[in-house]
Amino acid sequence: MSEPSIDLRVWRQFLAVAEELHFGRAAARLHMTQPPVTQAIAQLEKSLGVLLFDRNRRRVALTPAGEALLPEVRELLARASALPGRARAAAAGELGRVRLAFVSTIGFERLPAWVRDFRASSPQVALELVEATGDVQLEAFARGEIDAGLMLHSPGFAPPGLQRMSVASEPLVLALPAAHPLARADKPELAEVLAEPLVIFPRRIVPSLHDAIFSLYHAAGLVPRVAQEAIQMQTIVNLVWGGLGVAWVPESVTQFRREGVVYRRAAEFAAGRRSKGVQLPACETSLVWPVEGEQPALQRFVAFVKGQMGLAQ
């Protein structure tokens, strides 16, 4: 047997009678005559199979069932009244959620401030964060598990099939153990650096940047000696500290201060004969989202990031 279907109008009549404890006053409050209100409550009790009011000639009182329903009905009507506004807020992107994946490098500086400011400006949009490398993000996009991502890549080589907006460009710097002779050298030759064992991320993580680093070695007539692969930049830096090799990392990683590891920039290398004219690669971070990503909350977040970047809306 199915439950009776009772519309909100009847619950409003119940609430008026429950708060006034007088059918005449409840009817006046509802801008109605008394008989339809009395009939509606009687029909409501019949549909529910319980009495909601104790009534006689002298008084009207709520039964235990009516007392139990009163707070629930208040909440139901309040939520129903809020629905039109929530619908308009959702259409304007002021209500909803954005599932954002990000690479660790953007998390060192920009992302924390963006999360704080976006939540302050759009408190009803749930910004859900998940740290993930580029390959994991692409899989999550394919499964519909994320709405946007912050991906690391070689400049201009963001994954195809996604809308993108560049949010950061930075050079690669060399991470090496503080005790290494090249760390103490005044201006080591780049060729000497490239001869050292290399700690690097697997190619599947950021193919374009992995290829750019290998091209650096090839331009100097060398083949990289990969000593160890690791996924996270913090892990790569820790492996450098452990003496497994040197690593090329985005400049933002220098904010991850690991005692026993030093960072050297392009200007700190001397170009010898073998590495003359060789340019150190750079990297870029982009906000990416599906071409069909038109949900209002996502568009609101994209517009927010554009504003942070000083781009025209």
Query: Per residue in 147-165, pLDDT tens?
Result: 999 999 999 887 888 999 9
Two structure tokens written together for 105? 């490098």
CA distance 251 to 229: 19
Q: What is the pLDDT of residue 301?
A: 93
pLDDT band at 115 (very low <50, low <70, confident <90, very high): very high
CA distance 244 to 8: 70
Q: What is the pLDDT of residue 272?
A: 60
Two structure tokens written together for 157? 């080589």
Q: What is the pLDDT of residue 271?
A: 67
Query: DSSP character for 189?
Result: B
Q: Tokens 């690097």 — which residue?
A: 200
Q: What is the pLDDT of residue 279?
A: 79
pLDDT surpasses 70 at 90: no
pLDDT band at 274 (very low <50, low <70, confident <90, very high): low
The pLDDT tens digits for 162-218 are 999 999 999 999 999 999 988 888 888 888 889 999 999 999 999 999 999 999 999
Query: DSSP character for 3?
Result: P
* Residue closest to 217 by CA, chosen among 240, 242, 200, 241: 200
Which one-letter amino acid corresponds to residue 279?
A: Q
pLDDT surpasses 70 at 57: yes
Domain-wise residue ranges, the chain: 8-91, 96-167+285-308, 170-282
Which fold, 8-91?
A: Arc Repressor Mutant, subunit A (1.10.10)
Q: What is the pLDDT of residue 51?
A: 93
CA distance 152 to 205: 9
Task: Say whether 27 sits in a helix, a strand or coil.
Answer: helix
Q: What is the pLDDT of residue 52?
A: 92
pLDDT band at 275 (very low <50, low <70, confident <90, very high): low
Angle at 163 between CA 309 and CA 302, to 5 degrees: 40
Q: What is the pLDDT of residue 5?
A: 65
The region of weakest confidence among 24-38, 215-229, 257-271 is: 257-271
Residues 6+ apart with CB under 8 A from 63: 50, 51, 52, 53, 54
Answer whether 96-167+285-308 and 170-282 agree in fold: yes
Based on its alpha-carbon atoms, the radius of gyration of the chain, rounded to whole angstroms, reads 32
pLDDT band at 68 (very low <50, low <70, confident <90, very high): very high
78: how many CB neighbours lie within 10 A of its CB? 9
Per the CB < 8 A criterion, the answer to whether 255 and 119 are in contact is: no
Q: What is the pLDDT of residue 158?
A: 75
Mean pLDDT computed over 91-115: 85
Domain 96-167+285-308 matching CATH 3.40.190.10: the answer reads: yes
The matching CATH number, chosen from 1.10.3720.10, 3.10.20.600, 3.40.50.300, 3.40.190.10, for 170-282 is 3.40.190.10
pLDDT surpasses 90 at 286: yes
